[in-house]
Chain A
């Protein structure tokens, strides 16, 4: 338990992805079974452990601590699990500290009262960091900045494997993953998942960059619309049906309206959308349905999900990934005719004469829930990852707006000494004349050299400090790029941008010439 506690503690503070990977890989290589399997499950959000409610933790600690002292401490620390871990007055105990691997099974099946007793006795055996980790574990939610994908990547690095090899079997495995570690350590073959609805790593497209078009032989490519939804994979095998996100997260539970209707066997690739009466709804509607553990009936009714299919990886248990795209496309069309799956349709092939026609199609995309075009080589086999060449995404041009920098904040990790996170505003008519209102935040899109200059500018033009935030003089215009803009009650300006980033820094431009809020409002879809 203590090793895992120290791992969590360091992950919490590690700002860099590489640091997190190294910390986890070190742990996975050296921790014993089944501890490391339970740790992997916890980090990947796959651990089912009898959960303790905050009220139970509070009740436990209040039995042992003076209420006034606890109150002052909690005010100071600000987190119940952490305060409890730090303040816990240990009583002498003969018990040994619990091994991480035995915690879920020991709690399994206990009543709340019995679980509370067990947790109390464990708290006496651990130090503050151990107690903190235990309480995180049993109250659910590690919140140490690690995604399932990152945990799997660390595991792959620890044993010199590709993360996709792990992804291919992941969803057929259960904690504490004994067979997974056996395979990684070379003691057995890769577990056989051919009869399970596991995730098959996706083939991804590269952005089409300037110059690519001139080199491409367009006659070798097929075009499709790029829809503004999220990429998903639907896998069905032996009666098991799962819906996966692009990164292999199992999102089945949030989309019963898709999953429950599947009667086919196979693995399909497509775009998840919200669609009403045959019309694709804006991305914002889909967003309402994402990141939910459960979904209400009303949500199912008002935001019906739909998948626009564009590829087939398996027909039944027949692996089609080594076929060229055009053949897979034919198989997909026949599959749909045969199976008639509900809540799906086929992504249409967009015909074009030449480059000029293609450009016109792409430029016309805005406002129709279309993000642009996809170009796929006719002979491309389905390869996991992002191979350069076979598939391109050609997004419509971003929207841009000239804004004024208003606040800056220091970044994290390598950027912790730089002011690298910027809040910018647009002009509107205030009571006392023109005033700036914040419209967004951005922290990317500039080079390292530009960042140095921005950092210096912020330090030289600070007018006020609020903790880590500096308010700066209104003296710098930044042209920001963003994908779209929509109404938002959460922002003072009433609008929110999607994926804003620096496009150009206009060191030359007078702030009075920056854009007005009305210009942004006109771009709302």
Chain B
């Protein structure tokens, strides 16, 4: 019996990342290239310095916010659902549900469809458009939480834990470690959805992206800087308040100015107790912007691709589980993607 031709042989793994050969462009390259399509604004997927970049308008705006006015040569805004052709390869962006502007890249060439999903999640998120499964021949997926121990609890339960802690320790300030793009805004929106309408206080590093979200119509309520003035003195008495800060700040010198803080951290990694303890976290909140194990497997079913490529994360377990479903699967072992969760 003749061996079937390799699927999607027009896509190759190069040191720069995933190359769409006939199109002459990369998806989320980790080094500067001539031409790139970018799934979302996280720094490991959206590096500065590319020549031409196609991405959603929100992703382009995020890159400008993070890297200044010229993060790339030319930016080509691409709305969800709009199809363009790059050197004969058809390119379309579909929501990935990860952060504001995050997209899956749907590539079609010579009758084959490949979906590069970037980072994604399946549960609802008021701060970005929800993931849409696209049937395809090859589905390229992340596996950040690609182990069956990672099954994120309902977001509302985690917010309830936070609110219970506030009632128990009304005199202490709760400082929550959170990534500045996506997680911070989603956390704020979840806190708001729980009926909390006091101002939320932000570490300076979180402010520009929260402003950008608000400008894109995501209502985050009243946000105030946690510190102000040249010397970084506390702006107000933060006892009893909720403060959001980057993970690196919560257990280090920056946090010393806060009144007896309960150190919390919002991340999928908080599921593992040793991880939380090592980070000096007192109140772990299991809130993630990535698909958990069940969502990863559900997505494989939803897209129905006969072949799956795993870009980064715990590839071996997901490859193993996909093969058990009768799906051809392989790990691409792409380097350079980080473990933010």
A residues lining the B interface (CB < 8 Å) = 6, 10, 12-15, 19, 22-23, 26, 65-66, 68-70, 72-73, 76-79, 82-83, 86-87, 89, 127-128, 410, 412, 414, 416-417, 467-468
A77: min CB distance to chain B, Å = 6
7 contacts between A and B (CB under 8 A): A22-B168, A69-B320, A76-B272, A76-B314, A86-B151, A87-B149, A128-B153
The answer to whether B168 and A26 touch across the interface, beta carbons within 8 angstroms, is: yes
CB-CB under 8 A for A76 and B147, given A13-B281, A15-B282, A410-B280: yes
The answer to whether A10 and B149 touch across the interface, beta carbons within 8 angstroms, is: no
**B277-298 CB contact bits vs A (8 Å, 1 = yes)?**
1101111100000000000000
Chain B residues within 8 Å of chain A by Cβ, number: 36
CA distance A19 to B169 in the complex (A): 8
CB-CB under 8 A for A417 and B256, given A66-B324, A69-B147, A72-B317: yes
Asked if B238 is at the interface (CB within 8 A of a chain A CB), the reply is no
**B173-201 CB contact bits vs A (8 Å, 1 = yes)?**
00000000000000000000000000000
B33: min CB distance to chain A, Å = 33
Q: Kindly name the residue among A26, A76, A83 whose own CB sees the greatest number of chain B CB atoms within 10 A.
A: A76
CB-CB under 8 A for A416 and B251, given A13-B281, A14-B282, A79-B273: yes
Q: Determine the residue in chain A with the shortest Cβ distance to B286.
A: A128
Q: Determine the residue in chain B with the shortest Cβ distance to A452.
A: B256
The answer to whether B321 and A69 touch across the interface, beta carbons within 8 angstroms, is: yes
B148, B169, B283, B324: the one contacting A65 at CB < 8 Å is B148
A416: min CB distance to chain B, Å = 4
Within 8 Å CB of B263, what residues of A? 416
Taking A77-B149, A87-B149 as given, write out 13 further A-B residue pairs in contact, using a Cβ cutoff of 8 Å, ordered by the A residue number: A12-B277, A13-B277, A19-B262, A66-B324, A69-B320, A69-B321, A72-B147, A72-B316, A72-B317, A73-B148, A86-B148, A86-B151, A410-B280
Within 8 Å CB of B148, what residues of A? 65, 69-70, 73, 86-87, 89
The answer to whether A78 and B274 touch across the interface, beta carbons within 8 angstroms, is: yes
Within 8 Å CB of B320, what residues of A? 66, 68-69
CA distance A22 to B262 in the complex (A): 13
Asked if B276 is at the interface (CB within 8 A of a chain A CB), the reply is yes
Q: Determine the residue in chain A with the shortest Cβ distance to B150.
A: A86
CA distance A127 to B273 in the complex (A): 15
B169, B255, B274, B314: the one contacting A79 at CB < 8 Å is B274
CA distance A65 to B273 in the complex (A): 21
B12: min CB distance to chain A, Å = 28
Q: Determine the residue in chain A with the shortest Cβ distance to B160.
A: A6
Q: Kindly name the residue among B276, B282, B321 whose own CB sees the greatest number of chain A CB atoms within 10 A.
A: B282
CB-CB under 8 A for A69 and B317, given A13-B284, A87-B149, A416-B263: yes
Within 8 Å CB of B280, what residues of A? 15, 410, 412, 416
